[in-house]
Amino acid sequence: MSESNQTKSGNEDYELSVKQAAKALGKSTRTIHRYIEKGKLSRTYVTTENGKEIRLKSGEIIRLAAKLNESDGKPPEGDTGEEGPGPFGSDDPTHLDIREVLSRYERTLYQLGEMSEKLKEAKQKKEEQVRELKQERDQLKVRLTNKKSQIETLREEVQRPFTFLERILGHRRES
């Protein structure tokens, strides 16, 4: 073993790096870290020329590989250690199925096109509603101006004193 792969401080059983374990199991390093977090693999930290690194027991990796092979590449009780298939149709995030990627890309472009059309239609409807509301506002402004004019005319009429004839009749005459 090279110096960077040898363990220090009496941890000779811990001889595999996370990358080596991932390669041996055919899994990603992220999956190996999940196995460590879930307690499926034990670890220790060692000091190497590259700094502190995680080391794993080769015996545990062999046992886990056997369990994975017994259950068609999946750990017991249906727990894969993964959060489900990767984004490109595989449990292995490093494996890319180019057909699946292109298919998803095309579906996404199609969906974006549909959404774009729907947004354009919605924008046109809103612009039409705004135009209608502006017309209604302008009509209401004209009506309000007319009403103000009528009110002013009535105020002037009320403030005008009664004529002699209007006093006799008891009401104002319309002019």
pLDDT digits (tens, 9 = 90+) for 22-74: 888 888 999 999 999 988 888 988 888 888 889 998 888 888 887 877 765 44
Spatial separation of the C-alpha atoms in residues 54 and 45, rounded to whole Å: 5
For position 151, what pLDDT does the model report?
95
For tokens 């992220």, name the residue: 30
Spatial separation of the C-alpha atoms in residues 25 and 129, rounded to whole Å: 62
For position 114, what pLDDT does the model report?
93
Look up residue 54 and give its two tokens: 């995680």
Say what the pTM is: 0.36
